[in-house]
């Protein structure tokens, strides 16, 4: 068993209490253990419990393959592209269950592209990014496992990679962004060797899929500490490759090319203020549109923020034709280009009409994306000094506005889910009463016709 290894810490040697873990986690571990599998609580949940914080999510690692976990739980769903995971959904939470990983076989220039090779916990722990995330806890035996010295780094407040930093960042360049996230969120310091390796591996972010970078950008925008996070990005040189400024210079303003952090500062401060206020959650598509607007050329800002149609209509017309190309080439919307265009059009209508559609329920229902457009205008109030008085008044009635059905939008709790209408039953016309069912020559009546009483198809049954 795992508890026999030298890295196992007995219940009296750590500060994690079994009562602080959600009952669903205990239930999942117990079900897997009854089937003969190992199950451990891993990742950020163990780190937060050791720091005395309440975990925001729970991750489990097990020796069971994903298909076995899916058969064991009815609320299971397979997710993941590079590595298959099982998502267990509950009313107020979800738990990710991953299988122990082995050393990957598919590497190209040191970067991992496929990761579906299973192993044991001893092989899985060194595969993780940082030592503070390689801690594991057994909720049933209340034993803490520390195979790479993560507890000592956690006590010192240090972020250190398990493998040599250059090798670790080459395997997954997103780990450079995650190091900044943990520094800002936990108040730790990045190991000097890791900072030196980040300066050498900046160019690898250009090879990362844009949807993975979009997920990281969204986490930083909505963490409540976007301003210090992007300052750290700028200090380490990660800001330009993260935003793709060099590759998309043709729609980024000259000021943003010189100093992107100064241009983004009002938008980031508004995102932090919005998150601290605890208001309506900002959908990822809306946050990405706000980020793009803060970086775009002035003519695109004028278009996105609802400039008057009488003000240089030729340039505005060209902007409208180029907007789908801009959103597609930027690649940060994860396929949500059509909903993003609807949000932009709704924002333009709101600004030109002075918020009049918000006072008319019929006009609000007929304008797709009006709810997201109002949120977009709310977080862009300080970008170009717009005075939009109707935004403050309309935010109080935000829950009454219809939402745009996009994939990443958090649906309001007071609105029932949309259901597809039931299919209408197909009615068969019965054979007229009193008339015999036609029988083929020299044979018995067709069982289907005799059973349902349908009319004859008119087919010649005697072959003529």
| Active site residue ranges | 57, 59, 129
Residues 6+ apart with CB under 8 A from 181: 216, 219, 220, 223, 229
Torsion of CA 115, 120, 126, 130, to 10 degrees: 80
357/393 Cα distance (integer angstroms): 13
**What's the CA gap between 302 and 319, in Å, rounded?**
9
Read off the tokens for 187: 């108040």
Cα gap 319→421, rounded to integer Å:
40
Please give the Cα distance from 199 to 182 (Å, whole number). Answer: 18
- What are the tokens at 386? 């717009």
Tokens found for residue 374: 């109002």
Residue 215 parent element (H or E):
helix 210-221
* Residue 408 near residue 284 (C-beta atoms within 8 A): yes
Q: Half-sphere exposure of 411 toward its Cβ, with a 13 Å CA cutoff?
A: 9
Closest to 399 (Cα-Cα) out of 375, 420, 366: 375
> Hey, what's the torsion of the CAs at 74, 75, 76, 80, to 10 degrees?
160
Q: Is 142 left (phi over 0), alpha (psi -120 to 50) or beta?
A: left
The owner of tokens 């990710």 is: 96
- Label the pairing between strands 136-138 and 143-145: antiparallel
Contact residues for 254 (Cβ-Cβ < 8 A; gap 6+): none
What pairing do the DSSP bridges indicate for beta strands 39-42 and 136-138? antiparallel
| Cα angle for residues 228, 233, 234 (degrees, 5° grid) | 95
| 12's tokens | 């009296």
- From the number of C-beta atoms within 10 Å of its C-beta (0-12, 13-18, 19+), residue 185 rates as middle
Token readout for 36 is 């003969």
């Amino acid at each position: 068993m795992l508890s026999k290894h030298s890295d196992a810490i007995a219940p009296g040697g750590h500060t994690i209490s079994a009562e602080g873990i959600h009952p669903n986690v205990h239930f999942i571990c117990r079900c897997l253990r009854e089937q003969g599998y190992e199950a451990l609580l891993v990742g950020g949940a163990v780190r937060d419990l050791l720091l005395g914080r309440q975990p925001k999510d729970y991750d489990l690692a097990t020796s069971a393959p994903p298909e076995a976990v899916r058969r064991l739980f009815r609320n299971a769903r397979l997710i993941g592209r590079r590595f298959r995971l099982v998502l267990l959904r509950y009313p107020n939470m979800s738990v990710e269950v991953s299988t122990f990983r082995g050393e990957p076989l598919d590497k190209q220039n040191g970067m991992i592209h496929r990761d579906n090779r299973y192993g044991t916990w001893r092989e899985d722990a060194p595969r993780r990014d940082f030592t503070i995330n390689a801690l594991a806890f057994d909720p049933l035996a209340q034993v803490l496992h520390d195979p790479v010295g993560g507890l000592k780094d956690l006590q010192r407040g240090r972020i250190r990679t398990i493998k040599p930093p250059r090798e670790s960042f080459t395997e997954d360049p997103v780990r450079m962004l995650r190091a900044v996230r943990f520094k800002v969120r936990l108040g730790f310091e990045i190991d000097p060797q890791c900072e030196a390796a980040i300066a050498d591996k900046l160019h690898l972010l250009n090879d990362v899929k844009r949807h993975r970078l979009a997920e990281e950008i969204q986490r930083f925008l909505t963490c409540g500490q976007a301003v210090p996070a992007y300052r750290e990005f700028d200090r380490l040189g990660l800001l330009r490759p993260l935003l793709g400024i060099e590759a998309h210079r043709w729609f980024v303003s000259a000021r943003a090319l010189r100093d992107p952090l100064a241009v983004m500062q009002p938008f980031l401060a508004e995102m932090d203020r919005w998150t601290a206020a605890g208001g309506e959650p900002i959908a990822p598509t809306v946050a990405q549109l706000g980020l793009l607007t803060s970086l775009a050329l002035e003519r695109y800002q004028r278009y996105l923020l609802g400039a008057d149609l009488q003000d240089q209509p030729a340039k505005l017309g060209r902007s409208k034709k180029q907007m789908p190309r801009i959103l597609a080439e930027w690649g940060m919307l994860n396929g949500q280009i059509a909903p993003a265009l609807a949000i932009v059009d709704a924002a333009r209508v709101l600004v030109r009409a002075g918020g009049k559609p918000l006072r008319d329920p019929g006009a609000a229902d007929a304008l797709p994306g009006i709810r997201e457009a109002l949120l977009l205008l709310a977080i862009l109030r300080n970008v170009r000094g717009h005075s939009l008085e109707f935004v403050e008044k309309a935010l109080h009635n935000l829950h009454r506005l219809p939402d745009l059905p996009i994939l990443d939008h958090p649906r309001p709790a007071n609105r029932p889910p949309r259901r597809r209408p039931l299919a209408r039953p197909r009615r068969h016309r019965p054979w007229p009463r009193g008339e015999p069912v036609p029988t083929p020559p020299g044979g018995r009546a067709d069982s289907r016709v005799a059973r349902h009483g349908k009319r004859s198809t008119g087919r010649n049954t005697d072959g003529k």
